[in-house]
Amino acid sequence: MRITPDSRGVRSIPFHALGAPCGVQFRCDDDKRSLQFVADALGWLGHFEAKFSRFRADSMVTRINEAAGKQWVEVDPEMEQMLDIGDAMHRLTAGLLDPAMLPLLRVWDWKKVHAALPDEETIREALDLCNWSEVERSPGKIRLPRKGMGLDFGGFGKEHAVDQIASIARQHGIEDLLVDLGRDIFAMGGNGLHPFWHVGIQDGIQTERCIGGLAVSNYAVCASGDYARRFEHKGVRYGHILDRRTGWPVCHGLRAVTVLAPTCLVAGIYSTCVFVLGRREGMQFVQNAPGVEACLQDEQGISGTEHFSKHQVKAA
């Protein structure tokens, strides 16, 4: 296998993982080191998906969910780390983002054709089971105490994976890198023409275009909105991002949120949380976060935090 660099010295690897189109672009003048990095990165990602995807019948997450209301499940240090991340996310967002949201996600599965919307009783029953604070943990093991409970790492799993691939690149001495796992992005160094990578800001209304671009280096970019993963019922759009407070898909006017942060994990948590909170509360939340900048779009227009514009460039 040979990964041929382009005229800028950029090697590009497109692939599909974690249910999304992905890609890695990087600059490295050593063929052997390039191949080893790609092998290590994709090997790690395959292992990660096999262990933490709830869509895999033999994953550790599936074993935990199937044991809900029954026995304890032994977990390894990697799972302990993911559970710790989920716990930190839950505390940072005051429970707005909950790793135990699987029952509600199943009710609102955006991949299904919904002949009718879920009734309030079904939503309430699912919400009652979505409670991270009830999850029981002990060193090396975990238990979901009630039948029907379930974990889902969709709110932070891809973002964590992006950061880990960037870490693997650093271990191989790679300084110029763009990791894109389903539009969860981290950039290091530059693209061979500039000391940065160009990342588009997708329009949440006219989704076939961008509303601008970002010059990104040593930053992550994550976007949240209702324009990609959604279903429609009687002409109304219902997105995949759910509000833990109501049990319903977010529907308050925001169409897209784009966040810049030092890590993809932080960017992803803030983009989702801001989207759930809405323009006023979301802006207040992100303005209190050091090193985090956001751009919010609704039908009335676009607004951003104080320093977001410093990263913007004209759309190509």
Residues placed in the known binding site: 155, 272
Q: How far apart are CA 292 and CA 269, in angstroms?
A: 11
Q: What is the DSSP string of 117-181?
A: PPPHHHHHHHHHH--GGG-EEETTEEE--STT-----TTTHHHHHHHHHHHHHHHTT--EEEEEE
90-108: b or e for each residue (b if 16 or more CB lie within 10 Å)? Answer: bebbeebbbbbbbbbbebb
286-297: b or e for each residue (b if 16 or more CB lie within 10 Å)? Answer: beebeebbbbbb
Would you say 226 and 250 are in contact if contact means Cβ atoms under 8 Å apart? yes
Q: Which of 64, 10, 19, 77 is nearest to 45 (CA)?
A: 19
Q: How far apart are CA 53 and CA 62, in angstroms?
A: 8
H helices within the chain, ranges in order? 31-52, 60-66, 77-92, 102-107, 120-129, 157-171, 264-277, 279-287
Binding residues for Mg(2+): 155, 272
Q: Which of 241, 214, 231, 235 is nearest to 308 (CA)?
A: 214
CA 218 vs. chain centroid, Å, equals: 18
Would you say 21 and 14 are in contact if contact means Cβ atoms under 8 Å apart? yes
Residue carrying the six token digits 């509303």: 211
